Structure 1
Amino acid sequence: MSRLAASVVIPTRGGAARLPVLLATLAAQETDDFEVVPVVDGDIDGSEEVLRSWADRLNLKPVIFPENRGRAAALNAGAAAAAGRIIIRCDDDLEPRSDFIAGHVARHSTQRCGVVGLTTNALPDTAYARAYGRKANARAIAGALALPAKRTWRLWSANVSVPAAVHSRLGGYDGRYRRYGWEDVDFGYRLHRAGFPIVVAPELIAVHHGASTTTAVRAVRALHSGAARETFLALHGQAALREFDGARSARKPGLWDRSGLWDRVVTTSSTFTTERTLRAYGAAADSAASWLPAALAEKLIALAVESAGIAGVRYPRRARGMF
């Protein structure tokens, strides 16, 4: 029997409510030359039972962890179980198009590369979304599409694909990343360093239903992402971080002590930032954003997000949760 064209690896934790949306779109794909490898990273909400209910509609190959091991471990277990020529990573909160799998496979037909499909956030109509979330999403997509080829590795994330042989050659994702994010950036960097081009495929963009919906959630994620950055720095050094940041300098003493008033406010705020203060401030900012002028509401939310990111870099132990 010929090898399947693709394996869709889905890392999931607490995804029982999210998985049906994704699985329905996978069941409606234009091709059936693929398998689905969901990896339940410790079942806390009946996700395994949800997967069982889809067994007659998809070629499912579930992997169930008895406890939380982290996203890197889940992605690696999915890749190890995969039989497809191309491994497509698809996070459990995405809603891809009907040509999602065929499109990823087609991108690999002409060159040996990594493919980034990007995501666009589906946000409810809230004060947070109106003041900050939608604008941030638009800026992120525009920035991604404008990146030069040598820096597209930094986009490696929730909707990506790579030949199985290349994934194996790189050794998969690094399990030392247990805070929010950067295990994917690390993989993209190593792919880039190994000489494989990373192609952005805007036609494969998928709707992202798991985006931050409040200031507190967005800021806490920024705190954890800033903390996870420390692992990347420890593994790859300042030069890699400068390459990630582009024109900005990598983290070093004095990085955030810039001359602008906004930067000074953000830097000062970061010294007091913890998960607890972010949740309290976030709730207040969302409440105020419903009646403040749009520009001021955006600044209030941006203060929380930017301060949290800096606090994660400077005080990584303040990011207390694990992912």
Structure 2
Amino acid sequence: MGRFRLSVVVPAYNNAPLLDLTLGGLARQTMPAADFEVIVNDDGSPVPLAPAVDKYADRLNVTCLRAERNRGRSAGRNAGAARAGADVVVFVDADTVAHPALLERHAAYHEARGGRPGVLLGERFDIDWAGAGALLRGEPPTPAMLDSYRGDPRDGHTAHPQHRRDFARAPWLLGFTHNASVDKATFDAVGGFDEAIVKWGLEDSELFYRVFHHHGGPPDLFARDPGAIAYHMPHYRPTGELLGTLDNIRYIARKHPRYDFEAMHSPATLGQVMGRVRLYSDAVDACRRAGLGRPGVLPAQVRAGLADRTLIAGYGVSRLPLGPGSHTFDQDAPIDETNWHRLGLMLRDFRTGQFTQFVHIDLWRCLMPDDLSLLVTKGLRKADRIVLVASHAAPDAASMLPVPFVDDLDYAARMLEARFDVVTSVHEESTVLTVR
């Protein structure tokens, strides 16, 4: 055990009045001040934040680190965590006010795990004017100030019981560091936040994505605690800052070219995206067990086209003799520059018209209807034609549940014919839908 039970890391840039509220909340914790430390990282604010921090030197074990130039929240959090003396790091943003019991909740969670790795995601109330006024007066917000319109934005996306169960399969999607803690050993093992992410948004989800996969995705690695409460203060947010999230999504998806992160490109709510991560993870395994997605079912006419620039998805497809400039989505081969573990929902990394054809063996049959439409729409921007191959030796849709599975190929063809030119050809081992 270190000197402290917790190290609280607060990244800050400008806006000393909000930082003052954050530190004030930490100074009112039920946990004794001797049990935790606070590390504020001033990310190159034009007016140094040290005076705002020094006000609390008599009430908190608080340190202010200052970067001479602005480097972004990832670098700021990493700098703070590097100075942490506790075995658990709590991340709280400088526009957030902690409920008095917040740190006790985080400490209790990690201490109950007996040293095992873990991540606790606390509750975040996005309060508005009345709640902010109460906190400015040093009063707790009333229940009327914390109704569903001012609650945690994640709650509305995960209200369905199934989505709450899906949390164990994709908890990183809800990994907001306004109020989150992780054991320092895990944080150090994954290398902390990615400092290449300097624009607003998703640097926390990307960290927790790596944490989840680093430990092999155990269902109890992450937890949410509605009693670990923090209040997110109203503040001005430029539109351009929000748009920066789109750039971050593209960067992270290229860094982790897997179907679980690719699911964020589905036209769905956050809760539904968690469900798709679960469904598509199960689908990849189910198709492998059923012997689907294998290039052995490709008819001669499709094989002949592989000499052209081909994007192809299936198991073992990276071993096929493909033409120059081809790319594979092969779940059975390691990820590298020319092979990713995607399904085809995100194709932005490829140029318009880059491929002659996009061949998809069986795995396309496991996409939800909206996502199949997405694959075809995006795929026809990158390839002249899409070749959807369906093995004849396949189970029926009911036996694959809860995984979605297309077993009525005529229905799928008619659905696509409403918008595209579709040619169906039946061969010995497979049926092929060619979409233009």
Please, what TM-score do these two structures have when normalized by structure 1? 0.69
1:72-112 CA distances to partner (integer Å, 9 max, x unpaired)?
11010000011011100000111111111111011112332
Alignment match, 2:157: 143
Are the counterparts in 2 of residues 117 and 201 from structure 1 also a CA contact under 8 Å? Answer: yes
Alignment match, 1:129: none
Q: What does 1:15-164 align with in structure 2 at a 5 Å threshold?
A: 15-32=15-32, 33-111=35-113, 112-124=117-129, 135=149, 140-144=154-158, 146=164, 147-157=166-176, 158-164=178-184
SS in 2 for 1:118: strand
Alignment match, 2:9: 9
TM superposition shift of 1:181: 1.2
Are the counterparts in 1 of residues 154 and 174 from structure 2 also a CA contact under 8 Å? Answer: no
SS in 2 for 1:117: strand
Letter in 2 for 1:234: R
- Distance (Å, rounded) in 2 between the aligned partners of 1:188 and 1:8: 18
SS in 2 for 1:50: helix
- Distance (Å, rounded) in 2 between the aligned partners of 1:211 and 1:136: 14
Letter in 2 for 1:179: K
Alignment match, 1:233: 253
SS in 1 for 2:4: coil
TM superposition shift of 1:210: 4.1
228, 233, 243: which one aligns with 1:204? 228
Alignment match, 2:207: 187
1:102-123 CA distances to partner (integer Å, 9 max, x unpaired)?
1101111233211111311112
SS in 2 for 1:43: coil
The answer to which structure has the higher helix fraction is 1
- Distance (Å, rounded) in 2 between the aligned partners of 1:43 and 1:138: 29
- Distance (Å, rounded) in 2 between the aligned partners of 1:204 and 1:193: 25
**CA distance 1:201–1:251, change in 2 (3 Å):** same
Equivalent pairs: percent with the same residue?
25
TM superposition shift of 1:135: 4.5
**CA distance 1:233–1:34, change in 2 (3 Å):** same
**CA distance 1:144–1:68, change in 2 (3 Å):** farther
- Distance (Å, rounded) in 2 between the aligned partners of 1:26 and 1:139: 23
The answer to which structure has the higher strand fraction is 2
Are the counterparts in 1 of residues 128 and 150 from structure 2 also a CA contact under 8 Å? Answer: no
SS in 2 for 1:168: helix
Number of corresponding residues? 246
TM superposition shift of 1:242: 3.0
SS in 2 for 1:18: helix
SS in 1 for 2:194: coil
**CA distance 1:136–1:226, change in 2 (3 Å):** farther
**CA distance 1:2–1:67, change in 2 (3 Å):** closer
**CA distance 1:121–1:251, change in 2 (3 Å):** same
Are the counterparts in 2 of residues 3 and 85 from structure 1 also a CA contact under 8 Å? Answer: no
Alignment match, 2:197: 177
SS in 2 for 1:98: coil
**CA distance 1:220–1:141, change in 2 (3 Å):** farther
Alignment match, 1:168: 188
- Distance (Å, rounded) in 2 between the aligned partners of 1:29 and 1:87: 16
Letter in 1 for 2:36: F
TM superposition shift of 1:5: 0.4
SS in 1 for 2:182: strand
- Distance (Å, rounded) in 2 between the aligned partners of 1:149 and 1:211: 32
Dislocated runs of 4+, deviation >6 Å: none
- Distance (Å, rounded) in 2 between the aligned partners of 1:136 and 1:220: 24
Letter in 1 for 2:123: L
Residue 243 (structure 2) pairs with residue 223 (structure 1): yes
Letter in 1 for 2:52: V
**CA distance 1:36–1:104, change in 2 (3 Å):** same
Letter in 1 for 2:121: V
SS in 2 for 1:11: strand
Alignment match, 1:251: 346
Are the counterparts in 1 of residues 43 and 68 from structure 2 also a CA contact under 8 Å? Answer: yes
TM superposition shift of 1:124: 3.0
**CA distance 1:211–1:226, change in 2 (3 Å):** farther
- Distance (Å, rounded) in 1 between the aligned partners of 2:182 and 2:85: 13
**CA distance 1:230–1:26, change in 2 (3 Å):** same
- Distance (Å, rounded) in 2 between the aligned partners of 1:109 and 1:140: 26
TM superposition shift of 1:179: 1.1
**CA distance 1:144–1:77, change in 2 (3 Å):** farther
Give the RMSD, CA atoms, in angstroms: 2.8
